[in-house]
Every structure is written in C-alpha cells, then in structure tokens.
Amino acid sequence: MKRKDTSFELYIHIPFCVRKCAYCDFLSAPGSEEAKASYTEALLREIEAVKTEKREVSSIFVGGGTPSALSPSLMGDIFEKIHKSFSVAPDAEITIEANPGTLSKEKLFLYRNVGINRLSLGLQSPEAAELKSLGRIHTYEEFLESFSLARETGFQNINVDLMCALPDQTYEGWVRNLRKVAALHPEHISAYSLIIEEGTPFAKRKLNLPDEDTEYRMYEDTAGILAEYGYEQYEISNYAKKDLACQHNVGYWTRKEYLGLGLGAASLWGNQRFSNTSDFSLYLNNSGFPEKIRGDREALSLEAEMSEFMFLGLRMTKGVSKAEFLEGFGVSIESVYGKVLDKYKSVGLLEETEGRIFLTRAGIHVSNGVMAEFLQE
C-alpha cells in the first residue's frame, strides 16, 4: 500500500501491574522493584538500538499492564531516551495509561515535564461492588482524587475507561455509571463490553451476566446518553469531545505505521507485522539486538493489506474512503469488494455517503460478522 505520510507512531509496553484483574488477558503481571529496574534498562537498550532514519514520531502511547506502576525516575529515564533517540513531533499526542491508586502528584508532574499530554485512566466502574468483582485495586474515591490531581497538574486531555455487561449489572446501573462519569467531563470515554477471555479467572467462574437484549440496550443507548454531554462516537467503543479523538488509536485503524517497543509489543512497519518476544528473560538478555527479540513476522500481501484497510477502517463511524483505497492500492474498492458491499448495503448493514462506506447502527451490532467477510475475500 502506498503511504504519503512518512511519520509513524510509537508504542511502549510496560508489563507490570499491582495485581492481575479477574478479566485481564493482557501481557502483564506484578513485579518487584528490581524487576522493574531491570526491565527499564532493557527497554532503554531497545530504544537506543532501533533505527528509524529520523522519521518523525506523530504519537506515543505508553500502555500495559499499568505504566503508572513505574517510579517517576524510571519513567523519566524512558522518556529521556525516547527524546534522544527519536524525532518527536512538537504537536505529538503522548498518552500514558494509569490506574487510580497508583498515581501521585509527583508522578503527574513528571509526566507533564517529559511531554506526556494525555492521560488514560482505567476506572472501569464507579460502583464498589463491580470494582471488587473485577478485581480492581482502587475505589471510586481514589479515582476522583486521581482525576482531580490530573486536572491540577495541567492535564487537559483525559480518557476514562468504562466497562459494561458486567456480572450482576443492570441496564439502569450501567446508565448511572455512564452519567456519573460523563458529568465529570473527561475529554474522552472508552466504553467496552466485558469479554470473557480463556485462561482468566472469570472464565473459570459461573457469572450472572446481563442477557443479550440487555447488553444490546446498554451499547445502543450509550451513544445517545453521551451525546447529551457533548461526546461524539467515532469508533465502535470510543467517544470524544470535539476534535479530541485518540489520534494514536485512529492511526491503528487507518493502518499508519507503528513501532512497538517492550515485551510482547507488536509493530506494523512497511508491509510487515511482527511482535517482540513475550519471554521476559529472553527480552532482558537481547533487547539491545532488535532482530533477536522479534518474531511472528508476517509479510502482508496486497490482498491482506486491502483486507486490513477494510476491517480496521470500518471500526470507525466515518468508515473507509473510496478515494483513499484507490490511491493506496491502484484499484477501485468496488472491483475488489463489490459483491460484499452490495450484499450488506441491501440489508441495511452498510451505507455509502460522499465517497465513504460505513457501518449503520444495525451493522455495528453485527460488526464482527460483516468484517469477517472482508477477511475471506
């Protein structure tokens, strides 16, 4: 695929957390202070070893795990190395994930001083019983304290993560949660349905989950409720105030090149996808030699790139651009996917307006099935 934009995104993985949550299947685990220091040293070696020909970094996302579990000095070392090794755009969006209960004024001031300008707070629920069920370490009161501290230290772009369809949750309970958080006016809200992943504690329990109709109502009414507070839905699970969509995630959905650094971090570089090793010892011993820690390489065919353009782009409410498909691949979108497009337009799951193709409200509810068809072409 031809790309006009030569800038790229940077993802930094911090695999540590205070305690593994009951629903979590991410690459994360509690770690000692010694392990955190050793990992940071290894990450610094990888950052220094990576060569990107001084291409500009348009956004940085520090995810985990719980990145805020690192001490201010370790996070400061990471960003000092990033700024020495990469050409970071002056207006780059720089996000760090944080959990209430792991933040302090000292950490937040450090984040601001190293250039972090967006904070993503993992609240998940304001209800004590739901937080306990999820295995979260914080209270809603600690979240409010963290949110207030973030505002005091200058953060003007804050995301709050919320989860619906939780065990024993009612429709009315979800609406209360949503309104409670929206009333705080964070710039962005990510609202996800709980997914029970294999291998997690939740997968081994018998849970009283909302039925399908209730979950449908929870999702369907979220956009309307958040619109009352000035939020616009721009992706299946994401809502933002005007012009404050997460640019890093938009980059993922539009197939912007990104480089993932740290344990298990994934990358899209040119027409290749690859991931770093998930073996902690292997990473520590070889992080200074990127080729030794990278695996799962996949050279994407033109057909695979087209498929990704479609199923990633359709996650966004604005959908995909016919003109961008033609410019990127040299063929029209209809010549490749005409039958699938006609099929789903005819049953009201896809719509086309002003050269863009996007999922309808009905299409969003069955988005996985629609997107799967583009993978099969």
- Name, in order, each residue with C-beta under 8 angstroms of 226's C-beta and a sequence gap of 6 or more: 178, 182, 189, 191, 233, 239
Q: Which long-range contacts (CB under 8 A, 24 or more apart) does 243-250 make?
A: 244/157, 244/187, 244/188, 245/188, 246/93, 246/95, 246/118, 246/159, 246/188, 247/58, 247/59, 247/93, 248/9, 248/11, 248/59, 248/60, 248/61, 248/93, 248/95, 250/316
CA dist 234 and 189 (Å) reads: 11
pTM for the whole structure: 0.94
pLDDT at 375: 81
pLDDT at 354 over 90: yes
Mean pLDDT of the chain: 93
pLDDT mean over 86-112: 96
User: What is the arrangement of strands in the sheet containing 356-359, beginning at the earlier edge strand?
Assistant: 320-321, 356-359, 350-353
pLDDT tens for 249-287 read 999 999 999 999 999 999 999 999 999 999 999 999 999
Region 91-97: mean pLDDT is 98
pLDDT of residue 207: 79
The pLDDT assigned to 246 comes to 98
Closest CA to 248 of 295, 190, 287: 190
377 vs 351: which has the higher pLDDT: 351
4 or 185, which is more confident? 185
- Looking at the chain, which runs of residues are DSSP E strands? 8-14, 56-64, 87-98, 118-124, 158-164, 188-193, 232-235, 238-240, 258-261, 266-269, 272-276, 294-299, 320-321, 350-353, 356-359
Burial class (CB within 10 angstroms; exposed 0-12, middle 13-18, buried 19+) of 149: middle
User: Which residues on adjacent β-strands are paired with residue 357?
Assistant: 320, 352
| pLDDT tens-digit series, residues 309-343 | 999 999 999 999 999 999 999 999 999 999 999 99
pLDDT at 206: 78
- The torsion of the CA quartet 115, 90, 267, 19, rounded to 10 degrees, works out to 10
pLDDT of residue 244: 98
Which tops the pLDDT comparison, 3 or 130? 130
Cα separation, 371 vs 198, in Å, equals 23
Report, as an integer, the average pLDDT of 71-87.
97
Residue 376 has pLDDT above 60, yes or no: no
Which pLDDT score, from 0 to 100, does residue 4 have?
75
186-237 pLDDT tens trace: 999 999 988 767 776 666 777 778 899 999 999 999 999 999 999 999 999 9
Mean pLDDT of 143-158: 97
Most confident of 23-27, 122-126, 176-180, 373-377: 176-180
**Do the beta carbons of residue 277 and residue 285 sit within 8 Å?**
no
Pairing of strands 266-269, 118-124: unpaired
| Residue 111, amino acid | Y
Dist. CA 100–CA 250, nearest whole Å: 25
Q: Give φ, ψ of 303 to 5 degrees.
A: -65, -40
Residue-range domains of the chain with CATH: 8-253 (3.20.20.70), 302-376 (1.10.10)
What's the CA gap between 257 and 55, in Å, rounded?
Answer: 11
Over residues 92-117, the mean pLDDT reads 96
- pLDDT band for position 377 (50/70/90)? very low
Of the pLDDT bands very low, low, confident and very high (cuts 50, 70, 90), residue 364 is very high
